[in-house]
Amino acid sequence: MTNVLLSLGSNTGNLRLNLEIAVVHLAAMDKSAVISKSSAFTTAPWGKTDQPDFLNMSVKLTTELTVVQLMQNILSIEKLMGREREEKWGPRLIDIDIILFGDEIVNLPDVTVPHPYMHERRFVLEPSVEIAGEMIHPVLNKSVVQLLKDCAEPVDVFQDK
């Protein structure tokens, strides 16, 4: 079994419900189990800033799937939930990214792990520290806790109450 860290985000529709539905779908995947989920954090958009704020969270799961199989499942969940890929970094009903896949380093056309921007994105690191602070970035050889301490992105993340 491989421990996996996922980042989930939504900024259209019922944000909290979108995240909850995504977690239910993740928990229903074959050969996988959700171990824990973080609090939800409201964050400013990253990359393309002229859109509504996001609600973000992290999920830790364990799986027997390969990284490619997991990515196929994630894309199916996003499609099932109604995600339409119209604009890079644009508004989205649901976004599920593989952040870490055990200690694997993967560079394929459809999936790159560890996520290439995770260490720059406080909206990924803040919720991830809650549930997976001990996980190690296999390229940078730093824990998620240390990556958050080193993150240069301004502190504009706040926990949704």
Catalytic residue among 16, 50, 53, 95: 95
Q: Would residue 83 show up in a list of annotated catalytic residues for this protein?
A: yes
CA distance 155 to 133: 18
Catalytic residue among 50, 53, 92, 121: 92
Catalytic residue among 53, 83, 103, 160: 83
Backbone angles phi, psi at 56, to 5 degrees: -120, 150
Catalytic residue among 16, 30, 53, 97: 97
- Angstrom CA distances, 151 to 29, 31, 36, 37, 143, stand at 32, 34, 23, 22, 12
CB 39 within 8 A of CB 16: no
Backbone angles phi, psi at 70, to 5 degrees: -60, -45
Q: Would residue 160 show up in a list of annotated catalytic residues for this protein?
A: no
**Catalytic sites, residue numbers:** 83, 92, 95, 97
